[in-house]
Amino acid sequence: MINGTAKATVAEGKAHAAARLNQHSISLLVNNKPGVLIRIAMVFSRRGYNIDSLVVSPTHNGKFARMNIVASGEIKTLEQIIRQLNKLIDVIHAKDHTGETVVEKELALIKVRCSPDRRTEVLQIAEHFKGQAVDLSESTILIQATGGTEKLDALETMLDKYGIVELVRTGKVIMARGETGT
């Protein structure tokens, strides 16, 4: 269900970019207690939506949690999904942020196949994307990068030719700008 972008190859990356047209960024403020996630996940799955990424974190008030969900599916059912999410007793509110100018960030850890002679090359790429090496071995290098989804996609594409051993992305965290609530 929660299908990260772990094994993204270049081809898949392109497919992802196309699929992203159908992607929606949704934020929820929910009760911070057991069973809430499954109720939310069921609303998506019933309408044929795939949850592409999901970030859950408690708010500064521990009673509630914030969820950021990127999900893909038909746009025409999205409004219905948001309403059904809002209907859940444990959901304080659900909002669709697709197309809004919100601050959206994610973090990626990318482990790249890298012999010592290619390190400089890889590090240069990482630096270009304001990433940094957080681990190094004889045969691999682990790059950490943060930013928007497109930026991380681009970095992923650039590193792919060296051979990505493992990749993990946090999924998007979203916050509305200024006085607007998320």
CA distance 53 to 174: 12
Q: How far is C-alpha 174 from the geometric centre of its chain's CA atoms?
A: 10
Q: Is 31 in the site for another protein (CB under 8 A)?
A: yes
Among the listed ranges 26-34, 97-105, 118-126, 135-143, the one in contact with another protein (CB under 8 A) is 26-34
The two structure tokens encoding residue 6: 């772990």
Q: Is the separation of the CB atoms in 104 and 27 below 8 Å?
A: no
The two structure tokens encoding residue 137: 């071995």
Least distance in angstroms from the C-beta of 64 to another protein: 8
- DSSP per-residue letters across 7-63: T--HHHHHHHHHHGGGEEEEEEEEE-STTHHHHHHHHHHHTT-EEEEEEEEE-SSTT
Least distance in angstroms from the C-beta of 84 to another protein: 5
Among 16, 32, 37, 90, binds another protein (CB under 8 A): 90
Among 74, 79, 127, 166, binds another protein (CB under 8 A): 79
Among 7, 17, 57, 83, binds another protein (CB under 8 A): 83
Contacts of 57 (CB under 8 A, 6+ apart): 65, 66, 173
Q: Is 89 in the site for another protein (CB under 8 A)?
A: yes
Q: Is 11 in the site for another protein (CB under 8 A)?
A: no
Least distance in angstroms from the C-beta of 167 to another protein: 32
Binding site for another protein (CB under 8 A): 30-31, 34-35, 38-39, 42, 46, 64, 79-80, 83-84, 86-93
